[in-house]
Amino acid sequence: MSLDVPSPAVATGKPKAIVLAGGFDQIGLIEELKRRNWKVVLVDYNPAPPAAPHADIHYQASTLDADAVTRIVQAEQASLLTTACTDQALLTVAQVSEALQLPCPFNTQATRQLTNKRWMKERMREAGIPTSAFTIQHEKADTPPSGLIFPLVCKPVDSNSSKGVTLAETPEQFPQAYACARAASRSGEVICEEYIDGAELSIDAFVINGTTHVLMVSESQKLANEQGAFPIHRSIQPAPAAHLLADRIKMVVSQIARAFDIDNSPMIVQAIASSRGLYILELSARIAGGAKHCFIKAATGYDVMRAYVDTLFGQHPSIPPTVFPMPADAPLHAMQYLYARPCMLAKLEGFDMLKAQGVILDYFPTKTPGMEVGSALNSSNRVAAALLSGVSTAALDEKLHQLFASARALDHNGNDMLLRQALQQ
């Protein structure tokens, strides 16, 4: 539906919710709202986002355009504005909800702080939360900041997921890395921080009535490429390093919740387990993207999306079972993220067969037919994710081999554009 010609609200007797962003991750939110007898209106700038068929109405508009979202909320006479599994749209939710006096878990100021990496890093430093050394750059920079030790990671302060995050291993690589990050920053600000070597951990938690419950800790395996980006291509659960740091993880995640005043909310924390200890990269008061709510449910049995929607209605969600750290004999789970060469995606093939054969537990398309796959190797250009499990590393590796042998991402000429060699590490 075009934003220029909004439809009037339809009197259905159901309360109406506006959901910002229409990727695969928001399908779970839409379905949970509909399960509770809500009518759902989707806002996403793509003409045919994956979540559109699950919503009652789709407006093609930017989730970052607060004025456009305000007009949609008013036209639809919505009672709730929300999103899930995405960072920057949270700020729009808070701004519009506050202006229109709609319920919202966070106010605008708190949300701006949680969605801006500059404030986030500064607050971590103030609160004594271990994080890498960093500095903030505002202007174009051809020389690296003084006082930091290479390698350096350059990050835009206000972009979604891994967009613009670039590694500079040497001073000679810094100008290009900085320019890439600054191009992805809406404000033009860039964080330059020291790279810490170690296992990258993704810590999923839920804070309920002031108590932080760690749900799952997975290891994020990343792929370095020639542009200096290092997108995640696989998550493994349980993370081997997490067992050695279990008590430290619980303590630091609780410290983060207090420092950022997070309560009755999901929380995602990205950390590095290095030889020097645990270091926090960034965090957000939301469910992680990349089909993580499906990953958590498969590995732990906890329905984190249902718990999140409970909080939207002022209800206290059920307390999660004690699942971290996982027992030594727990099965392994992996989420494999699939990328393709630049193309217009026509269709995905082989996934239904792999699911029927028990090779994969499920798969999650992140591009629909007709959507463009760009050249940047980041989360915006994933075509799908596949969830697998195995009783051992060898069993999991065999299933991953079968996945890459059978899955295909076809363009309109029938060419298989799926990237394989780089991802089969």
3-class state of residue 123 by DSSP: helix
Report d(CA 89, CA 80) in Å as an integer: 14
Contact between residue 194 and residue 167 where contact means Cβ atoms under 8 Å apart? no
- Local confidence band at 9 (pLDDT 50, 70, 90 cut-offs): very low
Q: Top-level CATH class of 197-330? A: alpha beta
Residues belonging to the chain: 425
Q: Which range has the worst mean pLDDT, 120-129, 226-235, 246-255, 299-308?
A: 226-235
Look up residue 71 and give its amino acid: R
Report d(CA 387, CA 194) in Å as an integer: 32
pLDDT for res 231 = 79
- Local confidence band at 228 (pLDDT 50, 70, 90 cut-offs): low
pLDDT over 50 at 1, yes or no: no
DSSP for residue 379: G
Count other C-beta atoms under 10 Å from residue 314's C-beta.
9
Contact between residue 228 and residue 170 where contact means Cβ atoms under 8 Å apart? no
Q: Which CATH architecture has domain 332-425?
A: Alpha-Beta Complex (3.90)
Same fold, 133-194 and 197-330: no
Q: Is the pTM of this model over 0.75?
A: yes
Helical spans, DSSP H, in 19-116: 24-35, 66-76, 89-100, 108-114
Alpha-carbon dihedral of residues 242, 244, 246, 252, nearest 10 degrees? Answer: -90
Q: Which range has the worst mean pLDDT, 164-168, 247-251, 414-418?
A: 164-168
* Tens-place pLDDT, residues 298-348: 999 999 999 999 999 999 899 888 888 888 788 999 999 999 999 999 999
pLDDT over 70 at 422, yes or no: no
* Tens-place pLDDT, residues 363-399: 999 998 999 998 776 777 789 999 999 999 999 999 9
Instruction: Return the CATH number of 133-194, one of 3.40.190.10, 3.40.50.1580, 3.40.50.300, 3.30.1490.20.
Output: 3.30.1490.20
What lies within 8 Å, CB to CB, of 103 at 6+ separation is 80, 97, 312, 314
pLDDT over 80 at 95, yes or no: yes
* Tens-place pLDDT, residues 73-83: 999 999 999 99
Cα→Cα distances 329→209, 390, 391, 402, 412, Å = 32, 11, 8, 24, 45
DSSP for residue 265: E
Report d(CA 119, CA 114) in Å as an integer: 8
pLDDT over 90 at 293, yes or no: yes
Angle between the 292-300 and 304-312 helix axes, to the nearest 10 degrees? 120
pLDDT over 50 at 3, yes or no: no
Which helix (H) or strand (E) segment is 305 a member of?
A: helix 304-312
Ordered by start, the domain boundaries in the chain are: 16-114, 133-194, 197-330, 332-425
3-class state of residue 245 by DSSP: coil
Report d(CA 323, CA 334) in Å as an integer: 17
Report d(CA 86, CA 285) in Å as an integer: 10
DSSP for residue 407: -
Look up residue 33 and give its amino acid: L
pLDDT over 60 at 4, yes or no: no
Count other C-beta atoms under 10 Å from residue 269's C-beta.
23
Task: Give the mean model confidence (pLDDT) for residues 214-243.
Answer: 84
* Tens-place pLDDT, residues 312-326: 999 989 988 888 888
* Tens-place pLDDT, residues 25-54: 999 999 999 999 999 999 999 999 999 999
Of the candidates 341, 323, 342, 343, which has an alpha carbon nearest to the alpha carbon of residue 333? 323
Topology annotation, domain 16-114: Rossmann fold (3.40.50)
pLDDT over 70 at 227, yes or no: no
